[in-house]
A and B are shown apart, each in its own frame.
Chain A
Amino acid sequence: MEFNRPDLKRITDYVWEIPKSYKEGMLVPARIYASSGLIGKLDDHVFDQITNVATLPGIQKYAFCMPDGHSGYGFPIGGMAAMDVNEGVISPGGIGFDINCGMRVIKTNLTIDDVQPRLIDLVNRLFEKVPSGIGRTGFVKADAAAFRRIIEEGAEWAVNQGFGWKDDLEVTELNGRAEGADNKTVSDKAVKRGKDQIGTLGSGNHYLEIQHVRPENIADEQLARKWGIFENQIIVMFHCGSRGFGHQVATDYLNLFLSVMESKYKIKILDRELASAPFNSKEGQDYYSAMKCAVNMAFANRQTIVHLVRETFSEIFGQDAEDLGMKQIYDVSHNRASLEKHKVDGETKELIVHRKGATAAYPPGHELLVNRYKDDGQPIIIGGSMETGSYLLAGVESGSQTFYTTAHGSGRTMSRTAAKQTWKGEQLQKDLQKRGIYIKTGSFAGLAEEAGGAYKDIDEVIDTAHQAGISKKVVKLVPIGNVKG
């Protein structure tokens, strides 16, 4: 399929614009955050998709694509759109099927020298303890009624069960619980799909990683020190979401919206994956509530996994998790819609901000920041590929240009099929082990699909986010061990 590559207007070295005239129906221009290197390699579908987003009712200022952006469908991955709550829509396609897919980071007081001798045992044991891959269930036994309570309570439920610490909630977005999640807005089908999956990682690009803070990779010493990060420290990072439950919630509402959108609300869209309903409508509000149920499922899921990670470290190193200093740094979502106040042309408006593969990046003092980070700005967790490393960033005031939004990962550049043709899982695992990265996986085919070479250069993505002023670098973390889902 051919798309016209648009004439891009260069706004700055890192910001590009596609004007409204590019496509009929665009209500705002599209803005893509990319260095000249990244924009050249951007796949053509992104231009089509981000300009489709620009046609959605109520969209404010621009349809945005972050530096890690790549084609998805409906919205591109890395897409962000903020809609006025009074005249705008909510679109499940702007949030993604994996609602509240996100990242969590736990620190330790262990150093590379402490962990290196036990690395293989540690990764193997994490692989056994934290279920990953297709068709795996978690240790939590919840019937449908119990699961319906969990999706209203989120991580709070898990902590009350003893899966984690009260302090974890203080350093989780929304304190681990999205308020206003009414379980009656989710289907029995969604509940049945998800109720046995609490405490499971999933597959694909979901992973659990042991990372090393190399001294040369600390970019902001002051913030790093304040967040408890030190040279040669070992950090744990993982990536997962709301599992089958969230996927079904998204599917259910996508189909509901498709059935009412044109007939009832006269909304016309350019791609069925952009199915939308007015935010202030019965259907829009029901989805917003159901989305929050999935947000809570993901919080409960990641909270339960933290518990398993701490148990595993405790077992391997023969010390309590408290003594190992395994406090949480943060938990952030990159697939969520959030009700936020922003200034638009001098006027404060309430917006429903859709982030699909994009992370909130609130500046110091922002009302949606948890208290712990009010002075620092939002910690942003960027999950890279298993080969190249990940980052922690912080939100900054100049991020108002993107409604305080930044990247979420490194962004794919190669299809899964092409990756499998380029690399073989077993060989890749051996090669990475020679380079000091020990990987345990249930799927060699899945491993090949996640090779570092299938992704953009994460350093270039992060430099772009930093230089464009939508977030700032704090530290780069490099993998030494990885459980791949």
Chain B
Amino acid sequence: MGYRFVDGVAIADVSFQADGETLEELFESCGKALTNSMVTRLESIDAEKEIKLEIESDNTEKLLYEFLDDLIFYKDAELMLFRKYEIKIDGNKLTATLGGEKINPQKHELIIDVKAVSWHMFRVEKKEKWEAFVILDV
């Protein structure tokens, strides 16, 4: 499982490709990619505080979109960045416990704020592994 940033898609924004053996792993990869577009080193984030998420959606694509939208929400509303992901997906329902800490510019080398997840070219697919392509508005 992992992710890589992709160049040359939306030049003012950030796009990434992510994968995982399971859907849970894919969601974790996407969460890490989103966070890594804001902070240079994920290792600099400590899992000091837990947040629980419950999301129910119409389909897998929308579930991933809403999961990432919630991570962006917590970044603004609670100033939280996440490092640890315990995710369970059952059909179109996700429950997760996320571990992270408040943004600290002295400790976290920050890059750019993520404003939103774009639907442009947004994709979740099961090939050999689960794969996703995501553009973030920054």
Contacts and interface: CB of A to CB of B under 8 A. Distances in A.
A251 B69 contact: yes
A74 to B, nearest CB: 6
B75 interface: yes
A270 to B, nearest CB: 11
A258 B137 CA distance: 18
A216 to B, nearest CB: 31
Nearest to B11: A415
A412 B137 contact: no
Contacts of B102: 135
B119 A189 contact: no
Interface string B104-137: 0100011111011111111000000000000101
Given A194-B76, A203-B112, A445-B111, A258 B119 contact: yes
Given A73-B121, A73-B135, A251-B117, A134 B112 contact: yes
Given A71-B11, A134-B110, A418-B7, A254 B119 contact: yes
A248 interface: yes
Contacts of B73: 189, 192-193, 244, 248
Contact of B120 (A134, A135, A272): A272
Contact of B118 (A137, A194, A273, A412): A273
Given A71-B11, A415-B11, A134 B75 contact: yes
A412 B120 contact: no
Contacts of A250: 116
A204 interface: yes
A74 B116 CA distance: 14
B71 to A, nearest CB: 12
Given A273-B118, A273-B120, A202 B12 contact: no
A446 B111 contact: yes
B120 A204 contact: no
Contacts of B138: 203-204, 416
A442 B116 contact: no
B111 A192 contact: no
B110 A247 contact: no
B11 A43 contact: yes
A86 to B, nearest CB: 28
A338 interface: no
Given A73-B118, A442-B105, 7 more contacts: A194-B76, A203-B113, A247-B72, A251-B116, A258-B119, A275-B119, A416-B138
20 contacts: A1-B9, A70-B11, A74-B118, A74-B120, A134-B113, A135-B105, A193-B76, A203-B138, A204-B113, A244-B115, A247-B137, A412-B12, A413-B11, A415-B11, A417-B7, A442-B105, A442-B110, A443-B112, A445-B40, A446-B111
Interface of A: 1, 43, 45, 70-74, 77, 97-98, 133-135, 137, 189, 192-194, 197, 202-205, 243-244, 247-248, 250-251, 254-255, 258, 271-273, 275, 412-418, 442-443, 445-446, 449
